[in-house]
Amino acid sequence: MTRLIWLAGLLAGAGCGLISSDVADFDLSLPEREVRVDTADWELADMSQLPAVDCTGELEGVCATSVGEYCGAEDVCAGACGGDDTCEVWIAVSLWHTFDLAAERPELEQIEGQPLVEVSIDRVSYEITENTLNVPSPPLVVYVAPEGVMSPADAQAQAIGTIPPIEPGVRVAEAEVELTEDGKAHLAERMKQYSTPFNLIVASDVVLRAGDPLPSGVLVATVKATAKASTGL
């Protein structure tokens, strides 16, 4: 299952027109995906805020053993002793989709396996189409990676940009992803090798400290990348 708590879908394509036989440059915008962050997946406790649990001295290990009382999804939740000597809960958000351009963009068949000389990313933007969160969303970092990589912790995952925090209940019609210095280049390089599938990962760490409200609700996002390619023919 493609896990996607934060960030719903990624990269919406423009039209699916065919490549003209006498034009070397053509549209290569990525097919649309949806990314859905649902706090119900975290199995949080039914309480309004995270209680203050002392973890000083010999009690330091209590955070790791008691985290399940507040966050039941063992595969994404972890407990740690924070700077104020009370327990913190860390929730790892890691969502991904696979893109196979050779299969998803049938117009590429017309170039008969010819290599792409250049891929140019015009813009990367996002929309927030649904937002019932009761707290601001964490920054969502977008990565590109080889098909087998599904975690941002892997050295092969390359950050291309960030969706900044979104206030509770706010929807966004369209806004720019805050790209890294090499973000467009990393994405273009993956797309240039169009016969090799790659993953797009959306990830973040949600950190809950004593007194913080426990998150509830859903965030749905769509990320769009508009791109052009050239065969050099």
Mean pLDDT, consecutive 10-residue stretches, the chain (233 aa), reads 39 41 70 91 96 86 93 94 93 94 83 84 95 97 96 96 97 95 96 93 96 97 91 67
Q: Is residue 75 part of a domain?
A: no
Q: Is residue 181 part of a domain?
A: yes
- List Cα–Cα distances, 22 to 97, 107, 192, 232, in angstroms: 33, 14, 20, 11
What pLDDT does 19 receive? 43
Q: Is residue 58 part of a domain?
A: no
Distance CA 207, CA 211 (A): 12
We report the CATH number of the domain holding residue 170 as 2.60.120
Q: Are the C-beta atoms of residues 148 and 229 closer than 8 Å to each other?
A: no
What pLDDT does 1 receive? 40
What pLDDT does 100 receive? 93
Tokens of 138: 């964490």
What pLDDT does 57 receive? 81
What pLDDT does 232 receive? 65
* Coil/strand/helix, residue 40: helix
Distance CA 129, CA 212 (A): 26
- List Cα–Cα distances, 63 to 54, 70, 186, in angstroms: 9, 10, 38
Total structural domains within the chain: 1
Distance CA 229, CA 26 (A): 5
Closest CA to 230 of 1, 23, 11, 12: 23
What pLDDT does 146 receive? 96
Q: Is residue 63 part of a domain?
A: no
Adjacent-strand bridge partners of 25: 230
Q: Is residue 148 part of a domain?
A: yes
Model pTM? 0.85
Q: Is residue 59 part of a domain?
A: no
Q: Is residue 40 part of a domain?
A: yes
Domain extent, residue 188, equals 25-45+94-203+214-230
For 109, phi and psi rounded to 5 degrees?
-60, -25
* Coil/strand/helix, residue 206: strand
Q: Is residue 53 part of a domain?
A: no
Question: Any idea what the Cα angle at residue 147 is, between residues 141 and 151, rounded to 5°?
Answer: 40
